[in-house]
Amino acid sequence: MFEVKTRDGLARIGRLATRHGVLETPTLLPVVNPRRMTLSTAEIRDCGASGLITNSYIISRHEELRERALAEGVHTLVEWEGPLMTDSGTFQSHVYGDVEIEPQAIVEFQRDIGSDIGTVLDVFTEPEFDAGRAESELAETQARIEAAVPLKGEMLLAATVQGGIHPELRERAASLVSGTESDVHPIGGVVPLMEQYRYGELAGLILAAKRALVPSRPVHLFGCGHPSLFALATLLGCDLFDSASYAKFAADGRMMFSWGTRRLAEMQELPCGCAVCSATTAAELQALPDDKRERQLARHNLLVSFAELRQVREAVRGGQLWELVVARAAGRPEVADALVALEAEGEWLEKWEPAFRPQQPTSAREPLRRFVQDRLHHAKTSSECYDHPFFGAIDQELADTAPLRPPGNVRQRSWTPERVHAIASYQFGSAAADALLKGDVELVTSRNTGRLRNVIVDGEHRLSLSARHGLFTLRAAGACVIHATCAAPQHRVVVHADSAEFNRQGRNAFCKFVLECDQELHCQDECLIVTESDELVAVGKLKVAPVEIALGQQGLAVKVREAV
């Protein structure tokens, strides 16, 4: 149902399969009200939307809409052929008080009108509620989720994480919903925090939930619809967003940007290149009749939102999402507050830090700093060092190794066994490096570029160098040396016997067959695949963080390079 394609720490790009198509995440589901649409669904699609969300409670309370939805389906009702999610009325209970519908009935209604993703009628816990009341409401929400699961049919079910502003309750709620046969996990009850710009608290609550949420299901941040928040929310591990803000802000004459919000009436020029702003001027927009101006501003708000999401996804692919959030924080102090809150979570976030990123870091983020310090602690260093702006004194031999390259670094072309040892020591530890290079060492370099390609020791091909990252990939002979040198569980991924038979044939290892994993490994690290009796069967690259496997991740665990 949900396949993670690319990771950058907690952030990921995924594909969520529904009966009406696939959503590429992270993405925004614009809210549509079938009783009043500022834009048609065709116009929303043209702005970049691949999915929508509408409110099943509003539909159920309006006789004509209810009958049409039951007879023709909710997709026909809103004239939309793609993935469609429905909310349950929880937000209406927050705004207006109790809603007049039974929790199980609204789930059945969503199923019967053909919603692709239906939502449990959870209890919206207000931020001002104390821990006692929040715990009581969490229990009620969980009871409703468990009662809803048998009713969902073929519909995906969104089971919300509540718990108020109490992190320990959020973590408990996340653990409880992860144990149900639900499919999507919204973070609920946080709209007031966003409205009050309490982004530091918001970040802490999302991370509390992420500590216990099963990572094989997408996380939906309810009510998040401003483009200035998308990068931060994705960094925190959220995959889906929804909001009617694009229309509400337009009705109020406000324009959204990645760096904040401005009133059209106060603007002399339009600092935007979207299809709306590039075809008109601020004065021309201001002179439009109210209804036409509202539609144009709504289009602008959606175009800017989806442009920001494209930039977020590209940042994830390039390993530069943290840097994008830092850029957004420059214009939004509230985003900066969230980054400060993340510093306290550095130890846990470091577990998700990949071994390398496609691009060099340009900020001294705490998880990366911790990761580098840990690797350097286990490596031998020489007396010749350079001062890295983020990581301090670094062995000169590592100056061409990710992520330790200094800004503007010119790649070194000379290769020596000492330089090879420094890199191997940084990656695998000093004992493994000593063993890998014990013997007659031959360094095979490119005739054209002078870059190192392979390391041959006593006639065995043990290591190859990735020129892009300045890091080694293990060959079968090198894996055998590390296996003999380093005691379990170092560098190891232990798999079930059923998987080992396939891994011996060079096939990949999957999360569901992993029994144990060295917790010091990181996503993108080289690793050994072994059986329960520590028999080495293959070598490859770890494609998930060990903490993900522990939380129940599915899919590919190790991309096998060679059988042993």
195-204, pLDDT tens digit by residue?
A: 999 999 999 9
Non-local CB neighbours of 542 within 8 Å, separated by 6+ positions = 493, 517, 521, 522, 523, 524, 525, 526, 527, 557, 558
Query: Which pLDDT does position 362 carry in this prediction?
Result: 82
Predicted confidence band of residue 411 (pLDDT cuts 50, 70, 90): low
The mean pLDDT value for 29-44 works out to: 94
In the chain, which segments carry CATH 3.10.450.90?
348-477
Decide: 550 and 352 in contact? Cβ < 8 Å.
no
**Cis, peptide link before residue 403, omega less than 30° from 0:** yes
User: How confident is the model over 344-374, as pLDDT tens digits?
Assistant: 899 999 999 999 988 888 887 889 999 999 9
Contact by Cβ (8 Å): 82, 21: yes
**Annotation: CATH topology of 348-477:** Nuclear Transport Factor 2; Chain: A, (3.10.450)
Q: Give the pLDDT band of residue 18 (cuts 50, 70, 90).
A: very high
Strand 514-517 with 492-495, pairing: antiparallel
Where does the chain hold its CATH 3.20.20.105 domain(s)? 2-343
Q: Which residue, among 185, 187, 198, has the nearest Cα to 128 in the 3D structure?
A: 198
Residues comprising the chain, all counted: 564
Q: What is the pLDDT of residue 413?
A: 67
pLDDT > 90: percent of the chain: 87
Q: Are 467 and 458 in contact (CB under 8 A)?
A: no
Q: Between the CA of residue 514 and those of 63, 450, 511, 521, what are the distances in Å?
A: 52, 40, 5, 14
Let me know if 484 is exposed, middle or buried by CB neighbors in 10 A (0-12, 13-18, 19+): exposed
Q: Is the pLDDT of residue 214 over 70?
A: yes
Distance from C-alpha of 136 to C-alpha of 130, rounded to nearest angstrom: 10
Residue extent(s) of CATH 2.30.130.10 domains in the chain? 487-563
Active-site residue, from 8, 87, 518, 525: 87
pLDDT tens profile 368-406: 999 999 999 888 767 688 888 889 899 989 989 999 988
Q: Look-up: residue for tokens 């830090």? A: 353
Name the amino acid, one letter, at 92.
Q
In contact, 220 and 185? CB cutoff 8 Å: yes
Fold of 487-563: 2.30.130
The partner residues of 472 in beta bridges, in order of sequence, read 465
pLDDT attached to residue 487: 97
SS3 (DSSP) at 493: strand
Is 9 within 8 Å of 352 (Cβ atoms)?
yes
In contact, 89 and 57? CB cutoff 8 Å: yes
The tokens for 167 are: 């992190």
**pLDDT, tens digit (0-9, with 9 covering 90-100), for 65-110:** 999 999 999 999 999 999 999 999 888 777 767 777 899 999 999 9
CA distance 350 to 371: 6
Q: Which CATH number fits domain 2-343: 3.20.20.105, 3.40.50.2300, 3.10.129.10, 1.10.1370.30?
A: 3.20.20.105
- The pLDDT value recorded for residue 488 is 97
Residue 221 contacts residue 192 (beta carbons within 8 Å): no
**Residue appearing with tokens 């306290």:** 344
C-beta of residue 363 within 8 angstroms of C-beta of residue 326: yes
46 annotated active-site: no
Using alpha carbons, list the distances in angstroms from residue 91 to 94, 126, 137, 356: 5, 11, 15, 41
Question: Structure tokens of 510?
Answer: 């999957």
For helices 366-377 and 417-428, what crossing angle results, to 10°? 120
